[in-house]
């Protein structure tokens, strides 16, 4: 058949449908540092269903109790669109299909879909399995037929297909024919080692598509950095079933990333994968999976990463403010992301004005933006970084505009830690502040010097600003800016505060880690007070008059 023919019906708008097969819960969990409980898997599966995934591979039944529990939980869920899939291998040579433990476990999982992998590469057939080529064909044929006889929608994964095809094309095609003749509903070509490049992969897929009527699929790994590109190329060459994971998590270098593939297919190539309103949820889906899996998001990820639509260079920002298409390949809202403008020594006036508008500030004076640019460049030369400390930037901008942001002033501070052979026994911080003309002193304890400083500062100020009761320090990071200077090196401290569900970050820099920490802590509290609408401290003269 013509490889450009479609295997599935057209969408209502005329675009060709592509079936999405998610293996985050199975292949994704083989990635390093990835571990999901059965409940975690169920949460992710429900979110995938809401997004519009067609088939969700839940795991390998019988291989571990966790996967077994997931399939039991999944039976009680009313799935909107997705069909749950159990994974397993073709039968072992010593068993008939009805006696094979793996096939029996797949049936016991009670899922509408079964994905079955078999060998395409003679190396695996003769060395790994230790069977003849004809015996391998029978393993494939009989296993698929057995699952079909029990009413399953069978997705046949041709493992190592591209390596097998390049080694022995005729035999690799024979393995596909065995699965197709037995009734497989999809033939999935797997780049299991992940080393195939797009040109080769496209050529192979076109050849296979011209020979089989069965729905053709692609399962790519990212060992050569081409998994997403290979998946797009495969669809262009005739595949209409795409397998991958959310965020590309998976063994070794990972699987094909559906958060890159789906927008590429739908927004760039015109295929139908999910409804457009669901596509606008894909960034949120990405973050959700990272959160449930307890993994750090990859900021530079295509489409969904925090940096995907972030602009730093002043010339870039100036152009984006005139027309976003100048430096953005699509509108971030189409994938649920948002544009960000970063502040650094590369910033220009356009960056400052853009951020000011975001903050609701009007740079009415002609030189305000220029002064802000110069101040940021000077501070970044000392080691400050405002990309991750936008609360400090807002305070700086308000100060440049002449707005008063001082709610207290430091007279002195002292931190004392007592150590014993059992470790740190206690840490105390003493702070002396001036607030509204009054001198206040407080000693507070904490878990380490930074916590003690924070407790002491808040302890003094709560009497003046009760809103600080809900403010807490939640994160603290230190980085040596100039390690070549040894003990005289500058350190940069980033601190995150929280008030309910709102968080903000501030920065401090000094050769003294306590001073840098104090700068960031104090800025964090000033920002909280500014957000709460508190009144800045009065001048000393005003304070003395009120005391009289």
pLDDT along the chain (548 residues), means of 10: 40 77 96 92 95 97 89 95 97 96 96 97 93 97 98 98 97 98 98 98 98 97 98 98 98 97 97 94 93 89 88 67 79 87 54 65 64 70 70 78 77 84 75 86 87 90 88 87 78 88 88 90 89 63 37
141 near 178, Cβ under 8 Å? yes
Measure the CA–CA gap between 289 and 304, rounded to whole angstroms.
12
CA 297 to chain CA centroid, Å, is 4
Which positions ≥6 away from 43 have C-beta within 8 Å?
Answer: 292
Show the tokens assigned to 434.
């001036």
Q: Which helix (H) or strand (E) holds 290?
A: helix 282-292
Q: Which helix (H) or strand (E) holds 477?
A: strand 471-480
CA 417 to chain CA centroid, Å, is 39
Are 253 and 284 in the same domain? yes
Q: Quote the pLDDT of residue 545.
A: 37
Q: Which of 254, 262, 197 is nearest to 235 (CA)?
A: 262
Report if residue 398 sits inside a domain: no
Are 215 and 282 in the same domain? yes
3 state DSSP class of 281:
coil
Q: Which helix (H) or strand (E) holds 475?
A: strand 471-480
Report if residue 3 sits inside a domain: no
Are 274 and 316 in the same domain? no
Report if residue 234 sits inside a domain: yes
Between the alpha carbon of residue 39 and those of residues 25, 35, 413, the distances in Å are 11, 12, 48
Measure the CA–CA gap between 74 and 285, rounded to whole angstroms.
20
Alpha helices in 75-211 (DSSP H): 101-108, 122-123, 133-149, 161-167, 169-181, 198-209
Question: Domain range holding 455?
Answer: 409-531
DSSP letter at 17?
B
Report if residue 461 sits inside a domain: yes
Residues 47-50: contacts with CB under 8 Å, at least 24 apart: 47/285, 47/288, 47/289, 48/22, 48/24, 48/82, 48/246, 48/285, 49/79, 49/80, 49/81, 49/82, 50/80, 50/278, 50/281
Report if residue 12 sits inside a domain: no
Look-up of token digits 């990859």: 298
Q: In the listed set 260, 292, 324, which residue is the last one of a domain according to the structure?
A: 292
Between the alpha carbon of residue 484 and those of residues 252, 435, 489, 491, the distances in Å are 35, 40, 7, 12
Please, what's the b/e burial string for 76-112 (b: 16 or more CB within 10 A of its CB; e: otherwise)? eeeeebbebbbbbbbbeeeeebeebebbbbbbebebe
CATH classification at residue 439 = 3.30.160.270
Are 84 and 221 in the same domain? yes
Between the alpha carbon of residue 341 and those of residues 297, 314, 328, 362, 484, the distances in Å are 19, 9, 13, 17, 31
Are 83 and 225 in the same domain? yes
Measure the CA–CA gap between 430 and 413, rounded to whole angstroms.
5
245 near 287, Cβ under 8 Å? no
Q: How many domains does the chain have?
A: 3
Measure the CA–CA gap between 246 and 289, rounded to whole angstroms.
7
Residues 289-298: contacts with CB under 8 Å, at least 24 apart: 289/24, 289/44, 289/47, 289/246, 289/247, 289/249, 290/247, 292/36, 292/40, 292/43, 292/44, 293/34, 293/35, 293/36, 293/40, 293/249, 295/33, 295/34, 295/247, 295/249, 297/247, 298/247
Look-up of token digits 């409804």: 275
Are 42 and 126 in the same domain? yes
Report if residue 547 sits inside a domain: no
Phi, psi of 276 (to 5 degrees): -55, -35
351 near 297, Cβ under 8 Å? no
Show the tokens assigned to 147.
């699952």
DSSP letter at 433?
E
Are 203 and 351 in the same domain? no
Are 280 and 363 in the same domain? no
Look-up of token digits 């027309």: 323
3 state DSSP class of 135:
helix
Are 124 and 200 in the same domain? yes
Are 423 and 333 in the same domain? no
Are 201 and 111 in the same domain? yes
Report if residue 396 sits inside a domain: no
DSSP letter at 5?
S
CATH classification at residue 113 = 3.20.20.70
Report if residue 537 sits inside a domain: no
307 near 299, Cβ under 8 Å? yes
Are 354 and 438 in the same domain? no
3 state DSSP class of 271:
coil
Show the tokens assigned to 145.
């037929």
The model scores a pTM over 0.75: no
Q: Quote the pLDDT of residue 314.
A: 63
Q: Quote the pLDDT of residue 539.
A: 40
468 near 454, Cβ under 8 Å? no
Show the tokens assigned to 242.
């795409």
Q: Looking at the DSSP assignment, which residues form a beta bridge with residue 493?
A: 478, 508
Q: In the listed set 238, 261, 292, which residue is the last one of a domain according to the structure?
A: 292
Q: In the listed set 264, 292, 320, which residue is the last one of a domain according to the structure?
A: 292
Q: Quote the pLDDT of residue 532.
A: 80
């Amino acid at each position: 058949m013509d490889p450009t023919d479609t295997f599935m019906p057209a969408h209502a708008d005329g675009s060709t449908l592509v079936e999405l097969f998610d293996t985050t819960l199975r292949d994704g969990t083989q990635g390093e540092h990835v571990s999901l409980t059965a409940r975690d898997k169920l949460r992710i599966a429900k979110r995938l269903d809401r997004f519009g995934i067609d088939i969700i591979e839940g795991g390998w039944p019988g291989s571990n109790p966790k996967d077994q529990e997931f399939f039991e939980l999944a039976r009680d869920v009313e799935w909107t669109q997705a069909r749950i899939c159990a994974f397993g291998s073709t039968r072992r040579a010593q068993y008939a299909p009805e006696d094979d433990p793996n096939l029996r476990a797949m049936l016991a999982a009670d899922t509408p879909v079964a994905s079955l992998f078999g060998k395409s590469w003679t190396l695996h057939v003769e060395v790994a399995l230790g069977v003849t080529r004809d015996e391998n064909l029978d393993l494939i044929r009989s296993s698929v037929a057995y699952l079909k006889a029990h009413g399953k929608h069978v997705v046949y994964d041709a493992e190592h297909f591209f390596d097998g095809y390049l080694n022995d094309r005729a035999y690799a095609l024979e393995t596909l024919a065995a699965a197709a003749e037995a009734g497989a509903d999809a033939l999935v070509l797997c780049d299991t080692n992940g080393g195939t490049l797009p040109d080769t992969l496209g050529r192979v897929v076109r050849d296979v598509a011209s020979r089989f009527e069965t729905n053709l699929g692609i399962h790519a790994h990212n060992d050569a950095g081409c998994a997403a590109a290979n998946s797009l190329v495969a669809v262009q060459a005739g595949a209409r079933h795409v397998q991958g994971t959310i965020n590309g998590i998976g063994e070794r270098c990972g699987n094909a990333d559906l958060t890159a593939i789906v927008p590429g297919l739908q927004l760039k190539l015109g295929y139908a994968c999910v409804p457009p309103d669901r596509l606008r949820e894909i960034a949120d889906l990405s973050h959700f999976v990272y959160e449930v899996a307890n993994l750090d998001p990859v900021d530079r990820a295509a489409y969904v990463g925090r940096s995907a639509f972030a602009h730093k260079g002043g010339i870039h920002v100036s152009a984006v403010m005139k027309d976003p298409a100048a430096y953005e390949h699509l509108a971030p809202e189409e994938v649920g992301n948002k544009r960000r403008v970063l502040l650094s020594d590369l910033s220009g006036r356009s960056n400052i004005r853009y951020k000011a508008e975001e903050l609701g500030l009007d740079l009415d004076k002609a030189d305000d933006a220029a002064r802000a640019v110069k101040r940021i460049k000077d501070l970044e030369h000392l080691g400050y970084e405002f990309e991750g400390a936008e609360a400090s930037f807002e305070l700086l901008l308000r100060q440049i505009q002449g707005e008063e942001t001082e709610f207290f002033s430091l007279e002195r501070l002292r931190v004392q830690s007592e150590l014993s052979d059992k470790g740190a026994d206690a840490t105390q911080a003493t702070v002396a502040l001036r607030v509204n003309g009054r001198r206040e002193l407080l000693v507070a304890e904490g878990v380490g010097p930074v916590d003690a400083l924070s407790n002491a500062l808040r302890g003094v100020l709560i009497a003046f600003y009760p809103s600080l009761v809900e403010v807490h320090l939640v994160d603290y990071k230190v980085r040596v800016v100039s390690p070549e200077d040894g003990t005289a090196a500058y350190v940069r401290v980033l601190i995150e505060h929280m008030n309910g569900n709102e968080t903000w970050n501030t920065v401090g820099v000094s050769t003294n880690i306590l001073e840098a920490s104090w700068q960031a802590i104090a800025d964090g509290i000033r920002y909280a007070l500014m957000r709460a609408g508190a009144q800045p401290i009065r001048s000393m003269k005003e304070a003395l008059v009120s005391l009289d």
